Amino acid sequence: MSELDAVLFDFSGTLFRLEEDEKWFEGMTLDTDESREVDGHVQAELMRRLTAPTGRSVSMTPEALQAWMHRDLAPHLHREAYLHVLRESGLARHHAEALYSKAIDPDCWTPYPDTATVLAGLRSRGVKTAVVSNIAFDLRPAFDGVGAVDEFVLSFEVGAVKPDPAIFQAALDRLGVPADRALMVGDSDEADGGARALGCAFALVDPLPTRDRKDGLVAALWAHGIRL
């Protein structure tokens, strides 16, 4: 097959990962047991709940569910939804707010080891790139010093959420590339795989910790005829 003209990337779990820093949890205890500190197991579960692309992890009132369903369309709904998740997970409100502030800080996200290599390699080959993300904050600063991307198509800016084909179409339109000449790379078959409805190719990557996934992006591109 001939090399594709564009690659669309998911952000969380694909190009970058939100990885816990033990310092974020210093002094935190669970409401259900104030003597129990937030240990490594609980930390990992809280981070999963902050970054899982689909599904629900806690019980929700109708109001909370409404915020959850629309969280990636507006910053205030995103905040409301995730503070509910963290509170229901056992964190006091001030601890929930402190942890949430890390999740929406681009400086707290870690790029995968091959992110910079892949972005530079695609640019050098003239392959266009876009980040297509269900998100309610501006992630662009995370790419400073990591690599250049042609377009950022963020759900809260375009009013569409993956797997809605509209968000992928917005990216293709901005890049000026037809769907059958583009590859979508992401960590969710349900959300990111929505690009297939338009005719895009799709590559699934595993949202492993960055230390455990050294070349997942390179391998995904290789499998679709782009050899960097």
Q: Where along the chain do its domains lie?
A: 6-17+110-224, 18-107
Spatial separation of the C-alpha atoms in residues 153 and 118, rounded to whole Å: 19
8 Å CB contact between 167 and 150: no
For residue 40, what pLDDT is reported? 76
201 - beta bridge partners? 183
Spatial separation of the C-alpha atoms in residues 67 and 60, rounded to whole Å: 10
β-strands 201-204, 29-30 pairing: unpaired
Q: Under CATH, which number does the domain 6-17+110-224 receive?
A: 3.40.50.1000
Per-residue b/e over 71-80, b at no fewer than 16 CB within 10 Å? Answer: bbbbeebbbb
What tens-digit pLDDT sequence spans the chain (228 residues)? Answer: 468 999 999 999 999 999 988 889 888 877 765 556 777 788 888 888 888 777 777 888 899 999 999 999 999 999 999 999 999 988 888 899 999 999 999 999 999 999 999 999 999 999 999 999 999 999 999 999 999 999 999 999 999 999 999 999 999 999 999 999 999 999 999 999 999 999 999 999 999 999 999 999 999 999 999 998
Specify the amino acid at residue 220.
Answer: A
Prediction pTM value: 0.92
Who's near 29: CB < 8 A, 6+ residues apart?
Answer: 35, 36, 37, 38, 92, 95
Spatial separation of the C-alpha atoms in residues 162 and 135, rounded to whole Å: 10
Tokens representing 215 are: 């070349």
Q: Count of CB atoms within 10 A of residue 32's CB?
A: 8
16 - beta bridge partners? 12, 111
For residue 45, what pLDDT is reported? 86
Which residue has 């993956």 as its token pair?
Answer: 162
Longest Cα–Cα distance of the chain, Å, equals 60
